[in-house]
Amino acid sequence: MPSQKLLSQLARKHGTPMIVVDHDEVRRNYATFKKYLPRVQAYYAVKAFSDPVIVQTLFEAGASFDVASMPEFRIVYEYVKDMPPKQRQEWIWDKIIYAHPIKAEATLRELDPYKPLVTYDNHEEIRKIKKHAPHAGLALRLKVPNTGAMVELSSKFGAAPGEAVDLILEADKAGLVVEGLSFHVGSQTTNFDNFVQAINLAANIFQEAKDRGYTKMNLLDIGGGFPAPYDATVRPFRELARKINAELDRLFPKDVQILSEPGRFMVATAGTAVSTIIGKAVRDGKLCYYIDDGVYHTFSGILFDHCQYHMKSFKKGPKQICTVFGPTCDALDVVSMSEELPGNLELGDLLYSVNIGAYSSASSTPFNGFPPAKIVHINR
């Protein structure tokens, strides 16, 4: 993370609330992913932090992109729009996956000229794609175990294994091409067996499809869920990579392309939030600090992702258990009910929180008239 001295300097220059994004850390995370999963092409999940400058850094590093809305698609498209048409189309086909299984008809019509790879998981989506985006390639998303994930996704998306091949054959009958399978084991998955089970399930579906006469699949998208190291309970990424590599090498020939959709893993550790204490009170004998950021802004992951971001102080002093509130008048706006901070902090002092780059700025709102945090990029 940036030094306290640099964070203080940036806060004085730009004001708070502020999120400092360290692009050297983004590049390190991408390099780590490629080092330990050399066979897997990383399609950065743009929704994790959709700032165009982050997309540019990953574009330059060689990443591909997972988009789940047309605004996200357009952010990525900015970097390829000036390519010659043939080169641009080849890049889009190889470097972008539209990984939202449920798409509006208008979205499909807008996507169709780009001939993208899209996911689906039900009969109605086949009908929609056939009518509105017949030039798209398809990847069937499977329902897989999400046990132990911080955010569970399998109840909302994914075809049941028992209907998977029927959905593949139905799409084929409609004149569409199913290029392969995809799955998502849940966000921030610390149960590594989820990946093992999902890869094995996908291999079984590949074999069943082949046995029933469908032989066109040549890719597997193993989704996201790669955990960020928020604390010491998260086992090292290299340990997860060993499990994934072993199953991929055992079950899938080298000519099967392996995709992934890391979002949190790429940007979580690259973001540091800096806020200012704007209020101080003692309530029921407990010290309370009020800061100019909160759960409607950078700390939204407390609500949406079940994350707990710890606050740190630039100032030293005897610590005590404090409550940290956000700036809005909503009682829901609580950053922490139990945070160890010096009791001698004053109005205007700064606090910071590390590892807050994923799904923070992405979920900010202007609720109660308070603006989202400024984004400050360093090491560009």
Burial 59-97 (b: 16+ CB within 10 A, else e): bebebbbbbbbbebbebbbebbeeeeeeeebebbeebbb
Is the Cα dihedral 184, 189, 191, 192 positive or negative? positive
State the distance between the two ends of the chain, measured CA to CA, in whole angstroms. Answer: 15
Q: Which two tokens stand for residue 255?
A: 């000519």
Catalytic residue (choose from 288, 307, 322, 329): 329
Burial 211-228 (b: 16+ CB within 10 A, else e): eeebeebebbbbbbbbbb
Q: Give the contacts of 154 (CB within 8 A, at least 6 positions apart).
A: 143, 144, 145, 146, 184, 186
Q: CA–CA separation, 252 vs 143, rounded Å?
A: 19
Strand bridging mode 187-189 / 286-291? unpaired
Per-position DSSP letters for 238-290, written without gaps between them = HHHHHHHHHHHHHHS-TTSEEEE--SHHHHGGGEEEEEEEEEEEEETTEEEEE
Other CB atoms within 10 Å distance of the CB of residue 172? 17
For residue 320, list its beta bridge partners. 341
For residue 283, list its beta bridge partners. 286
H or E segment to which residue 129 belongs: helix 123-132
- Residue 139 in contact with residue 160, Cβ under 8 Å? no
Verify whether residue 307 is a known catalytic residue.
no
Tell me if residue 326 falls in helix, strand or coil.
coil
- Residue 184 in contact with residue 225, Cβ under 8 Å? yes
DSSP state of 299: G
Tell me the catalytic residues: 329
